[in-house]
Amino acid sequence: MKIVNIENKLADVPCGRGESGTRTARIVGGQNAIPREFPWLVSITRKGGHFCGGTILNSRFILTAAHCLCSGTSTIPIRQLRVTLGEYDLKGPETPAAREESVINAMVHPGHRCGRYVDDIALLELSRPITWSESVKPACLPAASGKPGYRAFGGENAVAAGWGWLGEDRSRCELLVISKNYSIYN
């Protein structure tokens, strides 16, 4: 397995800045996101359908859960994976249009095994660099511990966003949805 250090290859554009506006209620504990509110989120697709989300780290790498690269206890072939940038509505057209990119490499935590949710983290390497826009930007990441500007996020609240399920035995959201007030633990 190839080890990749992306710390020195972070994006050269402002990170973590999305659109703002008014949200509408969507699900219990969640709301519809605003288009371009989370420009660092991507839809990971297989056979033309969304099945997982990811986060843009820089112009070539996407962070996702390792279980997103599994089908049961088997690994999904990389050639079947696509990453859609600038996505908001999984069923409707985007303005500007969402862009689909190919994946050329997947780096999974060495302790992860398909069928389990231990060490559940992976990086996807895209076939070409991302072109930045208002609807496609990288996420902000904290600096490494001990470096200037580092601060811990323990005890703070966070926002989760994605195209998740509406509940047990229910359908998946088609619009990007957010849910607030998750506590962060160091």
Task: Give 90-139 pLDDT, tens digit per residue.
Answer: 888 888 889 999 999 999 999 999 999 999 999 999 999 999 999 999 99
Rounded percentage of the chain residues whose pLDDT exceeds 90: 49
Question: Is the backbone peptide bond immediately before 96 cis, with ω within 30 degrees of 0?
Answer: yes
Answer whether residue 28 shows pLDDT above 70. Answer: no
Q: What is the percent of the chain with per-residue pLDDT over 70, rounded to a whole number?
A: 72
Distance in angstroms (rounded) separating the CA atoms of residues 174 and 4? 33
Decide: 61 and 125 in contact? Cβ < 8 Å.
Answer: yes
Judge contact between 106 and 1, C-beta under 8 A: no
Q: Is the dihedral angle over the CA atoms 178, 132, 143, 61 positive or is it negative? A: positive
Residue ranges of domains in the chain, CATH in brackets: 31-141+154-182 (2.40.10.10)
Q: Is the pTM of this model over 0.85?
A: no
Alpha-carbon distance of 172 to 45, in angstroms, equals 14
The separation between the first and the last C-alpha atoms of the chain, rounded to the nearest angstrom, is 28
Band (pLDDT 50/70/90 cuts) for residue 46 is very high
